[in-house]
Structure formats: structure tokens, C-alpha cells
Amino acid sequence: MARDAVWAVITGMYDAYARGDRQGIDRLLHPQATIWDSAEPGLITSRQQLDKVRDARPSDGPAETSVRAYDEVVDVWGDTALARYMLRVDFESGEPELVRTTSVLRLADGEWRIVHVHENVLQQQP
């Protein structure tokens, strides 16, 4: 079922993130994907910009212990899908970060790829 395949891409992206596997994430992103990252004010429009944002993340920030996508609502229309879901990021100490997220995916050559992600933090780690 297409809905399950779309959700597998979304959860696969966060599984790769939790492993620190940039290539695993990048395989799930369309080469021209755009991203509204929760920690970046500008729209990310290229892989080069994404890598710059990734590289600028502080290494001495609170240690993440888990990342989990849940409460998904996924709709599929032909070769386009829209996934809306919550993302919970837990840390070694302090409150979790809750992120309301929307992702758009396209089916190309038999594979779903993420073409846009929009993140909005609802509750932020102090």
C-alpha cells in the first residue's frame, strides 16, 4: 500500500538521523528537496545548504537519546503524498522537543522521495 511505503520513508529518514547516517537520509531526499528546518530561519534549497546547516549544529548541545515520528496522517494522490506528523526528540536531561512536521513526497522510478519538509517546534529544549 502506498501510504505504508510513504510512512516507511519518513520513519526511515529519522532512523538514519538517529544513527548519524547522512547518506541514509540523503538517499530518501529528492536531490532538489527544500526544507524549513526547525533550527534554521531560511529555506534550505540545496544539498550544499543542508550540509552547511548540519555542519553548524553545536556538538556540545544536549545529547539526544531518541527521535520518534508519530500521530501520522498520510494522504496519497497518484505520485504525490502528503505526510503530517509529530516528531518527538528526547534528551539526556530536560524536556523533550516536540516538532509539528509536514513532508511532501513524490513517486519517481518506483521510489518515494521527500521533496519538501516543514518543521515547526512546539516545545523546545531549554
Domain that holds residue 38: 2-123
pTM of this prediction?
A: 0.91
The pLDDT value recorded for residue 123 is: 57
CATH number of domain containing 79: 3.10.450.50
Write the single-letter amino acid at 95.
E
Structural domain total, the chain: 1
Whole-angstrom distance, CA of residue 1 vs CA of residue 9: 13
pLDDT in tens, 22-80: 999 999 999 999 999 988 999 999 999 999 999 998 888 788 999 999 999 999 999 99
Cβ count near 76 (within 10 Å): 18
